[in-house]
């Protein structure tokens, strides 16, 4: 760590001990970054000299900002943060809002000022917000007007949060926009070191216990040089659309950071998408890149097939496992081969992926340039190709949890262990099996829940499904499926047998679900991830 303008060292002082830190590798020439940099200065301020100054950057139904206009607005907000609110580098700022131009500008201003962005999911309640406040200790929050109530309730229990300033609130006079309008716009990016902290990205809670990975300015810019550069290959004329929240690193990367790196533009709908409206918006604005979760693509397919999405050229799927049935359904509807990827909040974004002709059916992809991946046993020894084991990765980024004993589980001997079970084939393609702790061991056989889910989704009656292992006295575990049926189908004993027979005919018979439950909905996080731990609570 080099000395910098980082004055508040709260986060730095709570990083993992040295023996629990990951090893960082910067093997590619493009990963050789200077020791002093500010990611917003690199992505926004320098965009003006790269020919992007007059190009649209942020779009919505009500406004469009060029790169030049966005840079001015970011500087105005940064002045409010430092001059009016007296924040110093290293202070945490909680951000609460849906995907909007205002939310994007606020995030960029926080980071440009050398502060640490703590973005939170819009659907979080007061207790969950309180847990984040307690962990990250922000003194200021920038909050969308319609989301104030829960945050104000959390503030009462956590007075360390002294100031809440609203944005997108036309009924109030003292707002972020009103204060910004009084500023000169004369603001220079904070002289941050590359290893100063840019954000705390709380995990989305698939296990019920969110953690706070720490991400530096170097981490974000290094990730721009990996998956976006080598796999996504966005262009400056791209228009990007998507559903993941900016508070989720899948959304932050896909819907803000990576488009800026390419000089592209992002469209924010300012309202939650439905599968139908997303297809409509893609057509209306001429979107060329879309980010969303597999479940949403599955629901969008019928609308895309009926209406067409002629301008769309890249469909990125991440956030949870992509069933091959969903990949093929989308391809039949649009002609587009899905760009799948697996990443994690701990390392900011995607590290295994493949696009275009590199796609292999059933595989997530290969290790993204800049990363090395291997499959190991419980002792960390690499297993033969074709063998199920734990994924381990190493690259230019790595996990650093804020003050969390689970760091020792994620990083071992410098390698990151995301907690996924994979198989690697002889050509270096990685095939997802399940979360490592979700592997179902039944009568001595290993069964990955996603494989059974993929088989079930191929049945015409199944709209969605989730598969878990249920404890069983005789077999150790049995495979249990929770299915949401399409309209017109009945969840009775005949349907149970039909689904069981279908799975037996599709994959190895021992993998079939011995129990099938029919439900109206599946428990998911705000980012669309299936919460299997909640399904296990139903058994």
The answer to whether the beta carbons of residues 161 and 155 sit under 8 Å apart is yes
Residue 348 forms part of a structural domain = no
The answer to whether the beta carbons of residues 281 and 287 sit under 8 Å apart is yes
pLDDT at 93: 98
Which residues in 361-378 are b (16+ Cβ under 10 Å) and which e? ebbbbbbbbbbebbbbee
The answer to whether the beta carbons of residues 382 and 375 sit under 8 Å apart is yes
Rounded mean pLDDT of the chain? 93
Distance of CA 341 to the CA centre of its chain: 11
* Closest among 164, 157, 197, 265 to 5, alpha carbons compared: 197
Q: Is the pLDDT of residue 12 over 50?
A: yes
223-239 tens-digit pLDDT: 999 999 999 999 999 99
Q: Which residues neighbour 492 within 8 Å (Cβ) at sequence distance 6 or greater?
A: none
Query: Domain containing 521 — which CATH number?
Result: 3.30.300.30
Confidence of residue 446 (pLDDT cuts 50, 70, 90): confident
470-505 tens-digit pLDDT: 988 878 789 999 999 999 999 999 999 999 999 999
Give the mean pLDDT of 165-173. Answer: 94
336-356 tens-digit pLDDT: 999 999 998 999 999 999 988
The parent domain of residue 187 ranges over 38-191
Q: Is the pLDDT of residue 1 over 50?
A: no
290-332 tens-digit pLDDT: 999 888 899 999 999 999 999 999 999 987 788 888 999 999 9
pLDDT at 531: 87
First-to-final CA distance of the chain: 49
Furthest-apart CA pair in the chain: how many Å? 73
pLDDT at 97: 96
Confidence of residue 3 (pLDDT cuts 50, 70, 90): very low
Of the three residues 138, 170, 191, the one that is the final residue of a domain is 191
Q: Is the pLDDT of residue 369 over 70?
A: yes
Of the three residues 140, 161, 191, the one that is the final residue of a domain is 191
For residues 237 and 513, give the distance between their C-alpha atoms in angstroms, rounded to a whole number. Answer: 47
3-state secondary structure 272-328: CCCHHHHHHHHHHHCCCEEEECHHHHHHHHHHHHHHCCCCCCEEEECCCCCCHHHHH
For residues 464 and 482, give the distance between their C-alpha atoms in angstroms, rounded to a whole number. Answer: 8
Instruction: Report CA dihedral (121, 125, 128, 129) to the nearest 10 degrees.
Output: 70
Give the tokens for residue 325: 């049935």
The answer to whether the beta carbons of residues 464 and 451 sit under 8 Å apart is no
Residue 104 forms part of a structural domain = yes
Q: Which residue reads 């050789």 in tokens?
A: 32
- Report CA torsion sign: 63, 65, 70, 76: negative
Q: Is the pLDDT of residue 10 over 80?
A: yes
Distance of CA 192 to the CA centre of its chain: 25
The answer to whether the beta carbons of residues 300 and 265 sit under 8 Å apart is no
Question: In 10 A of CB 484, how many CB atoms?
Answer: 15
Confidence of residue 127 (pLDDT cuts 50, 70, 90): confident
Give the tokens for residue 382: 């690499």
Where is pLDDT greater, at 128 or 372? Answer: 372
* Ranges 32-46, 344-358, 432-446, 448-462: which has the least confidence: 432-446
Residue 404 forms part of a structural domain = no
Give the mean pLDDT of 114-135. Answer: 92
516-534 tens-digit pLDDT: 999 999 998 777 778 888 9
Instruction: Report CA dihedral (307, 313, 318, 321) to the nearest 10 degrees.
Output: 70
3-state secondary structure 24-36: ECCCCHHHCCCCE
Strands 440-442 and 445-447: antiparallel
Give the mean pLDDT of 41-50. Answer: 96
Residue 32 forms part of a structural domain = no
Confidence of residue 215 (pLDDT cuts 50, 70, 90): very high
Give the mean pLDDT of 241-245. Answer: 93
Residue 466 forms part of a structural domain = yes
DSSP 8-state symbol, 156 = H
Q: Which residues neighbour 511 within 8 Å (Cβ) at sequence distance 6 or greater?
A: 445, 447, 451, 452, 455, 479, 503
pLDDT at 265: 98
Query: Domain containing 70 — which CATH number?
Result: 3.40.50.12780
Residue 314 forms part of a structural domain = no
Where is pLDDT greater, at 28 or 445? Answer: 28
> Residue 218 belongs to what H/E stretch?
helix 217-224
pLDDT at 6: 59
* Closest among 360, 348, 332 to 458, alpha carbons compared: 332
3-state secondary structure 477-536: EEEEEEEEECCCCCCCHHHHHHHHHHHHHHCCHHHCCCEEEECCCCCECCCCCECHHHHH
Number of domains in the chain: 2
Strands ordered across the beta sheet of 462-472: 462-472, 476-485, 515-518
Of the three residues 173, 191, 209, the one that is the final residue of a domain is 191
Q: How far is CA 95 from CA 59, 86, 116, 216, 226, in A?
A: 20, 17, 10, 17, 27
Residue 488 forms part of a structural domain = yes
Give the mean pLDDT of 406-418. Answer: 95
Confidence of residue 209 (pLDDT cuts 50, 70, 90): low
The answer to whether the beta carbons of residues 376 and 401 sit under 8 Å apart is no
* Closest among 446, 428, 439 to 371, alpha carbons compared: 428
Strands 476-485 and 515-518: parallel
> Residue 92 belongs to what H/E stretch?
strand 92-96
Residue 402 forms part of a structural domain = no
């Amino acid at each position: 760590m080099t000395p910098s303008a980082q004055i508040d060292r709260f986060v730095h002082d709570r990083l993992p001990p040295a023996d629990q830190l990951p090893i960082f590798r910067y093997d590619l020439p493009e990963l050789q970054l200077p020791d002093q940099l500010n990611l917003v200065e690199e992505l926004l301020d320098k965009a003006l000299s790269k020919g992007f100054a007059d190009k649209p950057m942020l779009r919505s139904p009500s406004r469009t900002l060029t790169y030049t206009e966005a840079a001015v607005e970011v500087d105005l907000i940064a002045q409010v943060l430092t001059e009016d609110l007296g924040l110093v580098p290293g202070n945490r700022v909680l951000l609460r809002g849906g995907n909007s131009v205002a939310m994007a500008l606020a995030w960029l201003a926080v980071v440009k000022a050398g502060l640490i962005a703590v973005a939170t999911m819009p659907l979080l309640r007061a207790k969950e917000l309180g847990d984040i406040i307690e962990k990250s200790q922000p003194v200021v929050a920038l909050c969308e007007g319609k989301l104030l109530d829960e945050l104000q309730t959390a503030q009462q229990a956590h007075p360390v949060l002294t100031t809440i300033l609203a944005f997108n609130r036309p009924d109030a006079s003292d707002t972020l926009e009103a204060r910004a309008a009084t500023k000169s716009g004369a603001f220079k990016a904070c002289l941050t070191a590359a290893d100063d902290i840019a954000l705390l990205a709380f995990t989305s809670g698939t296990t019920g216990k969110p953690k706070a990975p720490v991400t530096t300015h170097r981490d974000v810019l290094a990730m721009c040089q990996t998956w976006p550069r080598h796999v996504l290959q966005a262009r400056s004329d791209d228009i990007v659309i998507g559903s993941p929240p900016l508070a989720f690193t899948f959304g932050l990367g896909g819907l803000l950071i990576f488009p800026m790196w390419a000089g592209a533009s992002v469209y924010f709908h300012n309202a939650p998408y439905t599968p139908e409206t997303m297809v409509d918006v893609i057509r209306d604005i001429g979107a060329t890149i879309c980010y969303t979760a597999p479940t949403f693509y599955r629901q969008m397919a019928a609308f895309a097939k009926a209406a067409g999405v002629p301008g769309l050229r890249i469909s990125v799927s991440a956030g949870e496992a992509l069933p091959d049935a969903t990949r093929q359904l989308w391809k039949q509807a649009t002609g587009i081969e899905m760009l799948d990827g697996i990443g994690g909040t701990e390392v900011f974004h995607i590290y295994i992926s493949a696009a275009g002709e590199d796609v292999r059916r059933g595989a997530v992809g290969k290790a993204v340039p800049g990363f090395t991946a291997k499959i190991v046993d419980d002792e960390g020894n690499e297993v033969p190709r074709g063998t199920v084991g734990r994924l381990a990765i190493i690259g230019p980024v790595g996990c650093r949890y804020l003050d969390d004993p689970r760091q020792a589980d994620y990083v071992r001997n410098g390698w990151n262990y995301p907690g996924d079970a994979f198989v690697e084939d002889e050509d270096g393609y990685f095939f997802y099996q399940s979360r490592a702790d979700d592997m179902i061991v039944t009568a001595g056989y290993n069964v990955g829940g996603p494989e059974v889910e993929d088989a079930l989704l191929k049945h015409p009656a199944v709209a969605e499904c989730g598969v878990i292992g249920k404890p069983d006295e005789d077999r150790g575990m049995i495979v249990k499926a929770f299915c949401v049926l399409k309209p017109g189908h009945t969840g009775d004993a005949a349907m149970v047998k039909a689904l069981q027979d279908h799975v037996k005919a599709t994959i190895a018979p021992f993998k079939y679900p011995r129990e099938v439950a029919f439900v109206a909905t599946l428990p998911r996080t705000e980012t669309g991830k299936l919460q299997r731990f909640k399904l296990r609570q139903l058994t």
